[in-house]
Amino acid sequence: MSRIVTVGAAQLGPIQKHHTREEVVQRLIALLQKADKADCDLVVFPELALTTFFPRWFIDNIGEADHWYETAMPSPVTQPLFDEAKKLGIGFCLGYAEITDDGHRYNTQVLVEKDGSIIAKYRKVHIPGHEHHEPDRPFQHAERYYFEPSMEGFGVWRAFGARVGMMICNDRRWPESYREMGLQGVEMILCGYNTPIHYVPDPSQDILQGFHNALVMQSGAYQNGTWVVGVAKAGVEEGVDSLGQSMIVAPSGQIVAQTFTTDDELITARCDLDWCKRYTGTLFDFDKYRRPEVYTRITSQRGAITD
């Protein structure tokens, strides 16, 4: 008997600075209700799904940014989302900015089961952008100021009858992210993202944003024999145009569903988990074909040595 998880990728349109968390939670609930009509088991929301993408602004006193972060999950404001999901019997994955009791700041996703219990928390490993104010940019990408990189790495958890992993936005561009999970037998990777179309350090990449987005998720899925669910916060947010093109990618690397707007939009797919074995049991039978003894640079060295 095949193992099916029906997943919904719940893309969000922009969240402007003046939008309250209460308003955003109502949008998330509306998407959950659509997902219920489509018989979803699990709904994936974007990175930083409760607020605008605030690292586009720099402020000298980081304490003044505390209001963008969640101190608890769920909280009184997000509890209605947890309640609705539990009532509908749908699990979800939600990205948000987290501040811990001892003041650490992470870019985080939680995975919540159908009964409302939190299965896992993932904190972003690859933090892109810059640490300091760069006044010549049209907008900042100061994630390295607002978030510290997680030292916890990439986990895989049993949930929804599957082996589920998580990553966040820039993580999807790094093959190591997928492989770390592939080596734990991952069958479905959940990834929220906010990707500005304009890449300030090299604008020649702007036109390629959609291509690169698909390229990395399709190859990551194929090379690790896993489903990948990539979900955008899209559209023009505070004047910054961000990529949509949320997608659900099969272990073959094929896109089985993709959004066509930059607004709140749900796409769904019935994901056959046994499809993973067609790849992990053949061409990508890691146990048979991998050569870790010759990959030692991967963990012993960070940058390229060219001399």
Report the catalytic residues.
Answer: 47, 124, 169
Distance (Å, whole) CA 43 – CA 61: 36
Using the minimum distance from each CB to ligand CDT, give the nearer residue, 159 or 167.
167
**CB half-sphere exposure, 250, CA atoms < 13 A:** 15
Query: Using DSSP, how many helices (H) and how many strands (E) does the chain show?
Result: 8, 14
Identify the residue among 11, 78, 140, 170 touching ligand CDT (CB under 6 A). Answer: 170
Should residue 175 be labelled a site residue for ligand CDT when binding is judged by CB under 6 A? Answer: no
Should residue 194 be labelled a site residue for ligand CDT when binding is judged by CB under 6 A? Answer: yes
Should residue 195 be labelled a site residue for ligand CDT when binding is judged by CB under 6 A? Answer: yes
Distance in Å, CB of 169 to ligand CDT, minimum: 3
Should residue 128 be labelled a site residue for ligand CDT when binding is judged by CB under 6 A? Answer: yes
Give yes or no for a cis peptide into 149 (omega within 30° of 0).
Answer: no
Binding-residue pattern over the window 42 to 81 for ligand CDT, x denoting contact by CB under 6 A: -----x----------------------------------
Distance in Å, CB of 114 to ligand CDT, minimum: 28
Burial of 99 (0-12, 13-18, 19+ CB in 10 A): middle
Should residue 233 be labelled a site residue for ligand CDT when binding is judged by CB under 6 A? Answer: no
Identify the residue among 96, 193, 227, 284 touching ligand CDT (CB under 6 A). Answer: 193
31-to-59, 99, 266 alpha-carbon distances in Å: 33, 26, 7
What are 189's strand-pairing partners? 165, 228
What are 10's strand-pairing partners? 266
Q: Under the phi-then-psi rule, with left for phi > 0, alpha for psi from -120 to 50, and beta for the rest, what region is 23? A: alpha
Should residue 169 be labelled a site residue for ligand CDT when binding is judged by CB under 6 A? Answer: yes
Should residue 173 be labelled a site residue for ligand CDT when binding is judged by CB under 6 A? Answer: yes
Using the minimum distance from each CB to ligand CDT, give the nearer residue, 194 or 280.
194
Task: Name the residues that contact ligand CDT, by CB under 6 A.
Answer: 47, 128-129, 141, 169-170, 173, 193-195
